[in-house]
Amino acid sequence: MKRIESEQNASIKQWKKLYTRKERDKLGQYIIEGPHLIEEAMNHNVQIAHLIIEESYQMPHDWEQLRLDPWVVSKKIMGILSDTEHPQGVLAICRMSSKELQVKAGGKYLLVDGVQDPGNLGTIIRTADAAGLDGIVLGEGTVDVYNSKVLRSTQGSLFHLPVVKGNLQDWIAACRQEQVPVFVSALKGAESLHDVQSSGTFALVVGNEGSGVRMEIMESADQLVYIPMFGNAESLNVAVAAGIMLYELQKNRK
């Protein structure tokens, strides 16, 4: 058993820094919290550099065979390391891995243009997973996927499908090449989602919470699509909108 007693320990200080994007990118590592998320990571071959548990933490039975050699820390140190109000007693330091994604004919993709809120991005990733997509591309200006709140909101879905960073125009061009129609979520000058004919292969672009999808991306789309507003709301939350659109496009598959 390895134990860290001091808050001043160099590893503690370094791990804590993983809550900043700069440090994550520099070290190629990120931090996840709680047994569910850690189990999802393990099950999907994420490399775990360090496991850190609180002294009173009972590891799940099926982890025992994995011969993990966790760092044991006090409740106080766990509180320092954790990002949540109620720490769950276990953290893991994971290594980033470069994921591969390639547009293929017949595929289903989500392109994210500048979503800022971590909870929204995490929920979008979870939703895209539920809808059975083949991959997600995060465009410039989108919040970092390794942000702890994003990771938490994905509920593990980040590990289920390829999520890559990229230039959206390049990806739209790749979709065009493979005859994957590109739909862009819009409020105006668009066709109602319920009138859209989807052949079950598509790329959907969703945009920033305030300003939506950038104009130049809209101009590259095959079709602008809106969700009809039956009441007095001006718009929907971006994760909710993504869910409604993805399930509609997905459902229409032939």
Q: Strand 90-95 vs strand 29-33: parallel, antiparallel, or unpaired?
A: antiparallel
Instruction: Please count the CA atoms within 13 angstroms of the CA of 246 that sit on its side-chain side.
Output: 27
Contact between 33 and a second copy per CB under 8 A? no
Q: Which of 37, 91, 121, 227 binds a second copy (CB under 8 A)?
A: 227
* Residue among 68 and 240 whose Cβ is closer to a second copy: 240
- Residue 246: name the closest of 185, 170, 189, 187 by CA: 185
Q: Which of 110, 129, 147, 190 binds a second copy (CB under 8 A)?
A: 129
Within residues 149-188, the interface with a second copy by CB under 8 A covers: 153, 155, 157, 160-161
Size of the site for a second copy (CB under 8 A): 36
Shortest spacing between CB 229 and a second copy, in angstroms: 5
Shortest spacing between CB 23 and a second copy, in angstroms: 22
Q: Which of 123, 148, 198, 208 binds a second copy (CB under 8 A)?
A: 123
Choose the stretch contacting a second copy; rule: CB under 8 A; options: 49-57, 58-66, 84-92, 222-230: 222-230
Q: What is the DSSP string of 66-120?
A: GT---EEE-HHHHHHH--SSS--SEEEEEE---------TT-EEEEEE----HHH
* Residue among 219 and 234 whose Cβ is closer to a second copy: 234
The set of residues, in sequence order, having a beta carbon less than 8 Å from that of 142 and lying 6+ positions away, is: 112, 113, 114, 115, 116, 121, 165
Inter-CA distances, 7 with 1, 78, 148, 207, Å = 18, 10, 21, 41
Question: Applying CB under 8 A, which residues contact a second copy?
Answer: 119, 123, 126-133, 153, 155, 157, 160-161, 194, 227, 229-237, 239-244, 247-248, 250-251
